Every structure is written in C-alpha cells, then in structure tokens.
Amino acid sequence: MKITFIRPSMTGRRAHDAMEPLVFALLAGLTPKDVELEFFDERLEEIPEDHETDLVALTVETYTARRAYQIASSFRRRGIAVVMGGYHVSFLPDEAAQFADAVVTGDAEGLWERVVRDVEGHRLQRIYQQRQLPSLAGVKFERSIFQGKRYTPAAPVQYGRGCKYACDFCSIHAFYGSSLRQRPVAEVVAEIEALNRRFILLVDDNLFVDPAKAEELFRALIPLKIKWGCQVSIDVAEDVRLLKLMERSGCIAALVGFESLDQINLAQMNKKWNLRHGDYAAAIRRFQDHGIMIYGSFIFGYDHDTTEVFTRTVEFAIGAKLFLVNFSALTPTPGAPLYQRLRSEGRLIYDRWWLDPNYRYGQATYHPKLMTADELTEGCLVARRQFYSAASIIQRACDWSTNCHSLSRLSIYTLANLISKRELKQKLGHRLGAETPVDIGAAATQRDR
C-alpha cells in the first residue's frame, strides 16, 4: 500500500522560508514499515496531477484550509481516498468532513496506526477522535521524507506541547487545555545529535511553561555546542539564571508575544500578565544582554487601538532594535474565544474568511471599534514596510550584543530580514488557495458516493 503526504501551500505558490513540517515526520514515524510513503510540499514543488496512490493525507491549518480542500477534491474526483487532520480539522471536523473520506481530531499518536490498517482492510471510518493526550515519550520523527527538498537551514525540533496561558486570540489552549507535556530530555538531545545540524529551532508554542524542565533542557544542550531559537513567554526575562543558561546553551533568538503596548488591550486579550514583571523595554534589554535576538509579535486591532497604534509600535520596535517582527491584524480563528466573541457581536466581515474567495491575506476580517477595517489593513501594511525598510534594517543592526555580535550573527540577522521582507511582499494581498473554487456541494456529492 502507498500513502502520500501533502503539505499545502497557503496561496498555492512557492515559498522561500519553508521549514521542515514536523507533523509529517511524526506521521512517517508512526507508519508501519511495510507501507510505502511519498511526500510533497507544495511550498517547494508542484503536486503531480496524475499522481497515483492509495491514500492522501493532509494536515490542515486555518490559513491552508482552502487550498487543502481544493487538493483533496482533485484526488477524490479520481477515486483516491483522502484523510485530514490538524488543528483546523480538530476544531471544525464537520467542515473538513465535506472534503475528506476521513478526519482525525486531536494528536495523531495511537490513531494514525489505526487509520493505516483500516485503509488496508477497506474499512476506513468517517472520524477518528483522540480521546486522551498521549505521552510524548518514545516519539519518533522520521525525517527521511524530507531528503532532497530545499528547506531553511534551521532544523525544527519539538520538546513539548501546550501552553500554560489562555490568551483570547489563541487556539493552542483550546486544543490542549491545561495539559503541558514534554518529551524526555535525553530523547530530545539524542535527536539533535543525530541531526548533526548547526541551527535548531525548538518549535514549542511556549518553551517556558515549566521552569524546572526548561532548566533541565538548557543544561543538556550546553555540551552540544549548537545555536538555537525558540518561542517563549516574556516572564522568562525575570529569571536571570535561566537567561544565563539559554545563553550558555547556544540560544541566539527568541520569539516573544508582546501583542500590544496598551494595558487595556492586554487585559482584554487575557494577557495582562505580560507587564507583571516590568516594562517591555527592560525585558528586551535583559534578553539582549545575554546575546539573544528578539523576534517580536504584535497584534493590531483590539478594542482600544486607534490609528495611532501603528506609528507608536513601529517606533518602539525599531528603537528596541528587535531582530524581526510579526505585525498582524487581529484575526479570529476557530477554537479561540475571540472568534466566538466577534461573531456574537456581529462584527465579522466573513463568517469563514479562510474559505471566502474575496478574502486576501493580510486583510482585516472583522470591524474594529476605533478604526475602520480598511484602516486596520492599511496600517498593518505600512507598519511592516517601515520596519523592514533599508533604513530600519541598518539602524536595528547596530546592537553589538545581539544583531551585530559577530560576522556570523550579522549574516543571520541580514538574511532573515531580507527573506521576511520578500515573503511578506509575495504573500500580502493574495487569495488563499488556488483559483479553483471550493465547492461544498460538489464535495458533499463526492463524499456520498
């Protein structure tokens, strides 16, 4: 039997910042050895129209849902079975089921093996639901499926799943609840050693969910002499001991969700704790004093934002010499409390923006309170252009403790900024998916055959 994994592109186009999609390495590791596997990443390559296989497996994110449904429909028209999983499918299984022969909700461990054997036995079920949160001990990522594909140099590695915070706009807590699980540190270290890669990205949604376990991991990374990045909550800046361990173990960059400079907005998004330990500038300086470049994430459009927020935030980000930024219009996604709130208030422009052919990447999807939707869209666009302008890139490079710490660090800083600038230019304003319409009625007909 042959199974084909497909990673859809958000817009159906190629990308230059594609990283190895770990979920498919996980699925490959769970697949019985007697099954033939093939993998296509649409961000890097075209999917052959005449590709033959017994089963197509797609992991669906909200931004790739429209394209995933288009791909699924093209295979099902040829009589090839399709199974879907991922965050989006787990939150909206009924939607996904209109385009798939089977859907998987929740984590894959313990379920994927059943899906494979059911396909072999011609008894594929409509839904496979994960009713528990499986242990992460013994998880194997089979990366051989990535061979020959041109991904970014940084190798993604997962240590744990879940986040201890429940932010209004985020669906991670809705997916995992209060469960915080980590892999055994020895297994993570062994995986990194086997990769033999210089740069590692620890892809946990929040690496700092458990200080004691974070310290255990950082100490274990020191002998590896690697360079690594991660995503952490800002409260780690108060723990000088952990910051020193991050520096000693090779951390050179961390993504921090600042979200807003306004306390009222932070309270509304259930993230007032961001300022519990002091102001942003002081926290950023503590990271930078330990050689850690900061990738700042900011959200525009909460109820206390006016059009002045864009200039104020850009000036702060440039003045703080942030490594990179993500300036985003607040976007309600399935599973997050924000989506239900804006929907109940009648403020959504698109009921399901991820499927609407009129939606363009980067557009506001709802009506803000103190500005128009068009002002929110335009403000985000201008803010991105200002931050990634040549003058800003040069000005922010002049931080000798981080961005310009060495020739190697400066090279990383420059390349990352140029790639981010190019990718934003290529993606902003584009429709999600390909030009092919998403026909729910046709999908239902295929399902019922």
Position 175 scores a pLDDT of 82
What does the alpha-carbon distance between residue 434 and residue 420 come to, in Å, rounded to a whole number?
22
What does the alpha-carbon distance between residue 187 and residue 182 come to, in Å, rounded to a whole number?
11
Separate counts of helices (H) and strands (E) for the chain = 17, 14
User: Is 368 within 8 Å of 342 (Cβ atoms)?
Assistant: no
What residue ranges define each of the domains in the chain, with the CATH number in brackets? 2-135 (3.40.50.280), 153-405 (3.20.20.70)
Dihedral sign for Cα 49, 155, 425, 356, please: positive
What does the alpha-carbon distance between residue 85 and residue 94 come to, in Å, rounded to a whole number?
12
What is the value of pTM for the model shown? 0.93
Position 133 scores a pLDDT of 85
Position 443 scores a pLDDT of 53
Q: How distant, in Å, are the alpha carbons of 24, 39, 79, 147, 168 from that of 144? A: 10, 10, 28, 5, 38
Q: How distant, in Å, are the alpha carbons of 114, 137, 315, 448 from that of 30? A: 10, 13, 48, 30
Position 440 scores a pLDDT of 61
Position 411 scores a pLDDT of 94
Neighbours of 173 (CB within 10 A): 20
Half-sphere exposure of 36 (CA within 13 A, CB side): 6
* Cα–Cα–Cα angle for 431, 437, 438, rounded to 5 degrees: 100
What does the alpha-carbon distance between residue 409 and residue 415 come to, in Å, rounded to a whole number?
10
Nearest to 101 by CA among 120, 78, 122, 84: 84
pLDDT tens sequence for the chain (449 residues): 999 999 999 988 888 889 999 999 999 999 999 999 999 999 999 999 899 999 999 999 999 999 999 999 999 999 999 999 999 999 999 999 999 999 999 999 999 999 999 999 999 999 999 988 889 999 999 999 999 999 999 999 999 998 888 888 988 877 887 778 999 999 999 999 999 999 999 999 999 888 899 999 999 999 999 999 999 999 999 999 999 999 999 999 999 999 999 999 999 999 988 888 779 999 999 999 999 999 999 999 999 999 999 999 999 999 999 999 999 999 999 989 999 999 999 999 998 999 999 999 999 999 999 999 999 999 999 999 999 999 999 999 999 999 998 999 999 999 999 999 998 888 899 999 988 888 665 555 554 54
What does the alpha-carbon distance between residue 166 and residue 183 come to, in Å, rounded to a whole number?
22
- Transcribe 164-232 into DSSP letters: S---TT-SHHHHHTT--EE--HHHHHHHHHHHT-SEEEE--S-TTS-HHHHHHHHHHHGGG--EEEEEE
Nearest to 325 by CA among 340, 310, 304: 310
Alpha helices (H) in 250-389, listed in sequence order = 263-268, 280-289, 309-319, 337-344, 373-387
